[in-house]
Amino acid sequence: MNKDQAYHQIALACLKTLRNTNASSSDAVTELYDTIDAAFQQQFALLLAELEENRDRLNRICELDPNTCTLADAQAIAEIRGTAH
């Protein structure tokens, strides 16, 4: 995931809320803030999942036996891509 994709998802959530909220409502600002918070939490969860995947790959590389494994083996593990965010 990159920053532009994350911002795009957050902006879409905000626009959807603005379209579906009565602007004159006293709760409109609160609803928008709640939407922004939820969108940030969702993006944060994706980053945590990505971090965990990367940590798992690094641990697998650390566990490689240097006597039987090559740099190519480590590179193959590093290049494994999980779920696209």
Q: What per-residue string of b and e applies to 16-43 under the rule 16 or more CB within 10 Å gives b?
A: ebeeebeeeeeeeeeebeebeeebeeeb
pTM check: above 0.75:
no
pLDDT digits (tens, 9 = 90+) for 42-67: 989 998 999 999 999 999 999 999 99
Closest to 48 in 3D by CA, of 7, 85, 13, 8: 85
Which residue carries 């939490």 as its tokens?
Answer: 41
- pLDDT for 84 equals 53
Give yes or no for residue 21 having a pLDDT over 90: no
Domain range annotation of the chain:
3-78
